[in-house]
Amino acid sequence: MEDQKGDKVIKTFDSIADRYILANHLLSFWQDVCWRRNFFEYLSESLEGNEIFLDIATGTGESFKYCHCNFKIKVGLDPSKRMLNIAKKRFSDVIFLEGMAEELPIKDSTVDLVAVSFGVRNFEDRIRAFAEFSRVLKTGGVLGILEFFPMENGSFINKAASMYIHHIIPYLGGAITGNFKAYRYLSTSIKNFILPGMMKIELESKGFKVVKIDRLFPNVYIFVAKKV
Ligand X SMILES: C[S@@+](CC[C@H](N)C(=O)[O-])C[C@H]1O[C@@H](n2cnc3c(N)ncnc32)[C@H](O)[C@@H]1O
**Measuring CA to CA, how many Å separate 168 from each of 98, 196, 220?**
32, 24, 18
Among 16, 52, 54, 57, binds ligand X (CB under 6 A): 57
Query: Where are the extended beta strands (E) located within the chain?
Result: 52-56, 73-78, 95-98, 111-117, 137-148, 208-217, 220-227
User: What is the number of the residue whose Cβ is closest to ligand X?
Assistant: 59
Residue 187 interacts with ligand X (CB under 6 A): yes or no: no
Q: Give the span between the Cα atoms of 153 and 165, in whole angstroms.
A: 13
* Number of chain positions touching ligand X (CB under 6 A): 22
Q: Give the span between the Cα atoms of 32 and 20, in whole angstroms.
A: 12
The interface region with ligand X, picked from 41-49, 96-104, 160-168, 197-205 by CB under 6 A, is: 96-104
Asked if residues 179 and 185 have their Cβ atoms less than 8 Å apart, the reply is: no
Q: Give the span between the Cα atoms of 109 and 1, in whole angstroms.
A: 38
CB of 33: closest distance to ligand X in angstroms?
11
- Pick from 186, 43, 198: nearest CA to 116: 43
Site track 111-130 with ligand X (rule: CB under 6 A), x = hit: ------xxx--xxx------
CB of 121: closest distance to ligand X in angstroms?
8
Among 23, 56, 87, 106, binds ligand X (CB under 6 A): 56
Residue 134 interacts with ligand X (CB under 6 A): yes or no: no
**Which residues contribute to the site for ligand X (CB under 6 A)?**
6, 9-10, 13, 56-59, 62, 78-80, 83, 100-102, 117-119, 122-124
